Amino acid sequence: MVKKTVKKIIVGNWKMNPATSKEAEKLFTNIIKFLSVLKKTDVVVCSPYIYLDKLEKISKKISLGAQNTYAGDAGAFTGEVSAEMLGNIGIKYVILGHSERRAMGENNSDVNKKVKSALSSGLVPIVCIGENERDENHEYLNFVKTQTEECLDGISKNMIADVIIAYEPVWAVGNSAQRKATAEEFREMSIFIKKILSDKFGVKMVESLRIVYGGSVHPQNVLEFLGDGGADGMLVGRDSLDSHKFAEIVKITESFNK
């Protein structure tokens, strides 16, 4: 079976940055300025909620995403933002199940509800999965399998291709990282995840599904993960706040040929 060609995707996760709307607009504008015509790469910037509406009006060249959403519809849910609200201001993507959200108590069931809500509102969910540690008994495989199955439970076969999986091993992320993940480790995990989803939804339904890598992504390791790792893109944290570095990551991806 010939795999349907899909664009690579680079997603920038600004997290709780920057501090002001002016800084956010400058960063977003600079990223756009540094990028030429994009033909083979989808680019998404996921900023804090309060900047999304204004950034959406600046340029349509790259897409915008949110970093989280609420699973329910409009109602008495103080402090929450629904997927429908995001879609109504032109947002196309949303990160769900990030390890930092899970560290605050979010579980697979919560993520599953949010995925369903996002899909029903026309958003593309970027579902984060990844183990906390790599044990010698390979129990981490069961951990990732459970995450994948429970987060996508009840999703219809026709909708699974609209989901993006972001594999982000917690042990390789941030200042407390135990070590860097390798492209080979990502490739193995990507194949494993595709097998789980193929068993659940059928090979044909997941052939176009994109699995991206996240975890200390920078211009120096992008080519390794795209090439040796076979990644469909990258989820970029810290370097998405540097317009030069983020643009370089996009340019490397755009020029990449399998």
SS3 114: helix
The reply to whether 188 belongs to the active site is no
- Two structure tokens written together for 154: 């009840």
61 contacts 37 by C-beta, under 8 angstroms? no
- The single residue of 84, 100, 131, 168 carrying the catalytic annotation is 168
- The single residue of 84, 98, 131, 254 carrying the catalytic annotation is 98
From the list 172, 161, 165, the residue with the least C-alpha distance to 151 is: 165
SS3 73: coil
The reply to whether 136 belongs to the active site is no
34 contacts 244 by C-beta, under 8 angstroms? yes
- What is residue 82's DSSP assignment? B
245 contacts 218 by C-beta, under 8 angstroms? yes
What amino acid positions are annotated as catalytic residues?
A: 98, 168
